Structure formats: C-alpha cells, structure tokens
Amino acid sequence: MKKIIECVPNFSEGNDLLVIKQITDQIESVEGVRLLNVDPGKATNRTVVTFVGEPEAVIEAAFLAIRKAGELIDMSRHTGEHPRMGATDVCPLIPIANISMEETAAYATRLAKRVGEELTLPVYLYEAAQPDKTRNNLSVIRAGEYEGFFKKISQPEWKPDFGPAVFDAKRGATVIGARDFLIAYNVNLNTTSTRRANAIAFDVREAGRVKMENGKKVLDADGKPVSIPGSLKSVKAIGWFIEEYGIAQISINLTNLNVTPVHIAFDEVCRKADARGIRVTGSELVGLVPLQSLLDAGRYFLQKQQRSVGVSEKELIRIAVKSMGLDELTPFKPEERVIEYLLKDQSGSRLVNMSLTEFADETASESPAPGGGSIAAYAGALGISLAGMVANLSSHKKGWDDRWKEFSDWADKAQQHKARLIELVDADTHAFNQIMAAFGLPKSTDAEKATRHTAIQAATRFAIDIPFQVMQTAFDSMSVIKAMAETGNPNSVSDAGVGALCARASVMGAFMNVRINAAGYDDKSFVSEIVERGRKIEKDTIALEAQILKIVNEKIGV
C-alpha cells in the first residue's frame, strides 16, 4: 500500500492571488502530488495550502514551493495579524496512511536540510522532527517574530538547525517539522476588542495566563512566573481583530482532537465569552478538517437537544455547520473542506452517486452490470433505511421524550448497516468487472493460461465474498427492523414490515449470487462451507421475516 503524507505550508501572503497561484503552480507541477486546498486570509495576510501524496513527491513539491515563496514574498514589507517569521512561515508534514510519525519526521529533516543548504535559508525543525525538546514548540521558536529574529538568530541557543545563522531580510526564516493532524479554528465574537478576545483565549488555552497579584507577576521558588492553566488541554489560542470582518476572533490550534475536539472547544469558548458579557456569533475552520470531527460535532449537538443521532452523514455535517456557525463568514462546502471527501476516489462509487432514475436505467440497459448482486445490496439498504426512519420518528414522538436515547441508538445502528450495504452496491459490480477482466487476459501460452486461471480464481473468490457480505449485513439489519416493529411508533409499523420484506429479498438475492459464482470456483471444500453457511442465513432470515410480519399484521389488525 502507498505511503501517504500531507503537507500544510503557511505562506506569508494572503492578498495577492497571483503570487499565491505561482506558489501553488510549483506544487502542482510535481507528479503524484494532489493539491487539496488553498485558503488565503486577507487580515492575516497568510495562505494555508494543503496537499498530499507519496513522501518523495511531497517533499519535492514543498521544496519548490518554499523556493518560489522566497522569490516572490518580501518579508520586510509584510504585515498581518498572524505571528510569522518567514515567507514560508511553517511547513509541517503529517502522516496520513501507511507511514509512521518517525518516518515522516525523517522526511521533514531531509526537506529542512535541503532547504537550508540549497536555498541558504535559516531553517528550524519542530515537533517530532526536532530532537531538542527545549525548542520543538512552534510558538517558542517563532517568539519575537520576523522583527525580533535579526537579534535572536545570533544567539547560540537559537542557531538554526540548517542553513546560515544570518537572518534573511527578504525571506526571513522557516520552520519545518512533522506533527499530528492539527485543526486551525477561529471563533467569532461580537466585539472588536483584541484585549477581551485575548482574555477569553487565555481562559481556554492550555498554557493559560501568568498569575498576577497587585499588578505584579507571581514567581515560584525558582523565580519563574506562576501560570494559571486554561480549561482546555492540547489547545493553543490567541485573540485578534480581523479588519476584513470587523470583529475580534479567538484563533485556536487544536493539537490533539482526541483530547479536545472542535465542538468542545466551541462550547467552552461560548461559556467563557458569556461569562465576560460577550457572545460567540459563529466560527470558521482554516484549511481542511477530518470527517470524523464534523460527525462527532453533529452527534454532540443533537444529543444536547435530546434528538436522535441516527441520521445520515450529510445531516450530521449540516447540524455541525449550523451549530458552530461555520458558514457565518463564508459558505462552508464539505466537498471542498473535508479531507476524506477530497481524497476519495469517486470512480469507485459510480452507482450510488446516480439518481434513482439513472440507476434504474443503467440496470435495465444491455450492460450486465449492475446485476442481481448490486440490486440485492440496494434492496437491503432500503429495508434498513425504513427501520432507521421508524427509529427516528419514534425518538421524536410526542410523549416519548424519555425514550429518545433508546431509539437514537437503534437509528444509529440502522445507519451503520445502511452505510455498509450502500458500499456493497458498487462492490458487487466491481467484483463482476474483475471476473470479466480476468477472462479477458491472454491465453496463448501455458504461462499466460496459468496466470489467467489464477486471476479468474482470485476474482471469483472476491465475487463470492461480496454477496455473502450482503447476506450477512442484511440479515444482521433485521434485528433493528424487528425492534422497530415491536417497540417503534405504531403508526409506522407497516414501514418496518416493508423493511423486513426488503431485507429478505436482499439475503435471498445475494445468496443466488454466492451460489452461481461458487459454481466456478476450484476449491470445493470452501464452496461447500460457504454454501452451508449461506443456507443457514437464508433459513434464519425467512424465519425472522415471518416473526416480524406476524407482529406487523397483528398491529395493523385489518
């Protein structure tokens, strides 16, 4: 599997789109790199760029971008709200897939060494790439900013890790490192006061504020200032005024989403702001966000309302966006801001992205795919979707407020089954296409025949496994359907009954595909085992469907 890393360089230019485009053109010129997001900020005069790829390609693209930024940006003329020290202010590498933090840090060090030596630019390592833990924190390295670095860089303890120990008036210096995924997040306030915004930032950030008594800093036994910690762990924050929007913001870096996720940071800022007579009016994400962060936020805010969390991914994101006001300043488009959506290969979801009419037309065409296996998976998805609907209606039913969590849990299970069955719609067609591709391999020589046979057998095994997964998932979904028939909103009991019919059709239809594909598989012991397991699932499905329909018909009563 490919090793994938992400690079999120921050360039000290947020207004001149031509300059930004010239920098990102360098990134896109490298084969194997995918530019995901370009997020310029006028008030901060800073652009956050996000791109991904295999390590070698990523560090080549990063080097070219750093070089171009140094050519185009003059730091001696730069002003902006965000702390900065160079044309390329910071350039972190983040492990995304099949690569460790240690490996990523090694690539960051390689990049830093090349930048320092070939571009004669002062470079500091940070986070996981910095072996000296006394200087691995970005804010500590950047303290003093561009204006203070002419003196700072001459101090022995601040000698750069690579490059000359002479500050470059035009390009400044840069910081390169490796870190975990970080979210840059700004919370909007109904004030123009930077001082009050900073007070809220100090309330929440982990570092907190220096303790004061009678206007003087309180010192510990070693003569160092005593700090009062803020309320949120793994959070860095400052307050600033954004002239572009005419408001003050809390600018936050969330450095560990497992410790403090976005929604918790938002709510805590709301509480601290309210205590100081200030309102939070919304917020904005800078750059990209992991899908899970928005899904967790959507669930969190629904739970606070005692509403069912068993809704679609799209609805969870909508709730998250509206609850945190992520679209207050600019439109929030998930397809452009969620990292998984940008990385997703849409070619693998051709069928499920069709309209109902398009899907029916494609099924009815002379093409052999999608066939019965994909239709069986989709029938199962429709069946469990009906059960999810009953659960959500029940969760919100008048007089059943004390049962919202019970039905929310059922709806959440329904969503999980539905999501898997939807995936299997396209997976079954992929399995069929793999068999066709294997049969199309050359067979002129004995070697080619052997290779072709092996490919056909591997594709056949896959084509057995996919519909079997459909069977198992559709059958498992029937426990939710039965629960909704038994305990759900009685006005929707017929919907549970239709769901059971769909689930039964899904299981039996998928089993036909298991059997017809198994007929061409050489390993007969495996065939015997999988068919036996399939027959049991089929038998159990028919029995469970009968139980559900009995409940449904008794409740209908006519």
CA 379/CA 425 separation, integer angstroms: 9
| Three-state SS letters, 153-210 | CCCHHHCCCECCCCCECCCECEEEEECCCCEEEEEEECCCCHHHHHHHHHHHCCCCEE
Element (H, E) at 96: strand 88-97
Q: CB of 48 within 8 A of CB of 5?
A: no
Q: What end-to-end distance do the CA atoms of the chain give, in Å?
A: 58
Q: Would you tell me how many other CB atoms lie within 10 Å of the CB of residue 199?
A: 17
Q: CB of 302 within 8 A of CB of 395?
A: no
Helices (H) and strands (E) in the chain, counts: 17, 15
3-state secondary structure of 229: coil
Instruction: Return the C-alpha torsion angle 98, 100, 104, 106, nearest 10.
Output: -130
Q: Which of 39, 161, 428, 495 is catalytic?
A: 428
Q: CB of 70 within 8 A of CB of 87?
A: yes
Length of the chain measured in residues? 558
Q: CA 45: distance to chain centroid?
A: 26
82 a catalytic residue: yes
Q: CB of 90 within 8 A of CB of 7?
A: no
492 to 229, 361, 392, 433, 549: CA distances (angstroms)? 52, 31, 11, 40, 13
Enter the DSSP assignment of 86. B
CA 182/CA 288 separation, integer angstroms: 9
DSSP string covering 419-448, please? HHHHHHHHHHHHHHHHHHHHHTS--SSHHH
CA 348/CA 355 separation, integer angstroms: 16
Helix axes 493-518, 446-487, angle to 10 degrees: 160
Over its C-alpha atoms, the chain yields an Rg (Å, rounded) of 29
Q: Which of 82, 296, 417, 495 is catalytic?
A: 82
Name the token pair of 555: 């409740």
Q: Residue 112: is it exposed, middle or buried by C-beta count within 10 angstroms (0-12/13-18/19+)?
A: buried
Enter the DSSP assignment of 231. S
- List the catalytic residues: 82, 428
